[in-house]
Structure 1
Amino acid sequence: MDDPRDLLEAGRFEDLAQDDHPLWRGLALLELRRYAEAARTFEEAPGAAESGSLLELAGAARWLAGDREMAAEKWIAALDAPHDGPAGGVKPPALLYYAGLRIPEERYVLRGSRLLGKLWKPKLSRVWPGPVAGYLLGKVEETAFLEDGYEDPDLEARRLASARFWAGVKAQDPELAKAHFEASAAIEGASALEVEHHLARGEIGR
């Protein structure tokens, strides 16, 4: 049996969609743009309701399937789910903020911003995705946000796909935003593990 990470990084998504593990299967379905199936896969996974990562991915799948309110509900649920360390808690309020901008729904923007503000401390910028909070709050400068990366190529692919997405969200110029989203979506391999990579693909198709 091929290693699922190898299949992911090789772009063998049809094969990966047959994997027994719902995370890998769901990621493959996202890459194949089978969004409703991906959402069900993440939502029906064992322990999904207590997994911040699975809730974030389920929300992205719902978002890309066109069910934005359900997506926001998943991201709200992720606010209370366990995450890895303080930096891991940054993504759900950032996603809620994003949902609020796009739906648009001001209360989501305000709640996401408020929660990011409560989480933010300068030391959070040392561990990804901690800098996302500082960047969205205007506390981290964009050049550093985009360029301060990892030597490990897989970690850097994931970080940069995420960073480019958030730069696109924050960009005022539509052409610049599009360039950031396209850059995020174009990063292959381990970037598929990041919810932002998939949302960036959705932004390009808007």
Structure 2
Amino acid sequence: MEDLGFFLTSINKISLLAFMVTFGFLGYEIYLFQKERKEKTKPRIPNFNENTVINASQSKVLLTQEEKAVKKSNNVVIVVLSVLLLVFGLATVIGFKKINRAENEPLQVSPTPIVNFINSKGIKILDEKMVPLADLDLNRLKSGNMINIGIETIGETDIDMARIKVNRQKWEPADITTAFDKKNNIFYIKYTVATGESQLKIDAQLHSKVDGWLGE
């Protein structure tokens, strides 16, 4: 959005500059046109030469053709400049409207996954109904959402519990869970996404009655 706003601002500055330059040229051409009209009202005295024979009708025709050529040239320039002035003026107005629209539009930020770092294998993220969340659903997690975080157990029968920690370095007694979901074959905890959490760093371990905490 910022890049789009910068691009529109740059284009609009160019259009505004072109509008001002064209307006200046048009004003100057109108000034010259008015000046020529005033000069035409003054009597034109030819520069006589002793050896020159003046043909009155021929002189009048030449002067008329010259005046028509100059007038036609001036009219063409004024028309072209007027069209350019209109084009650049419209481009400037449209550019300002687009800039205002871009500034008023809410900034759209592409969602980034909140669960983007998992240390342990077999971890699953599920919704409140114990349905596993897809990557797209993980991207939509917000503060206040309640989820279930589980670790899949293995085939050994002596696994009796698990411990799961989120965004912490050290294990605590409260991380231990015996809650088990047979459908997903996981030990799990309920977790509410806290305000300001941009990621969930999850660690989990299974406990064996014989070997203790696996992975240590």
Fold equivalence (TM over 0.5): no
Higher helix share: 1
Structure with greater Cα Rg: 2
Higher strand share: 2
| Higher RCO (CA 8 Å, separation ≥ 6 residues) | 2
**Structure-2-length-normalised TM-score:** 0.18
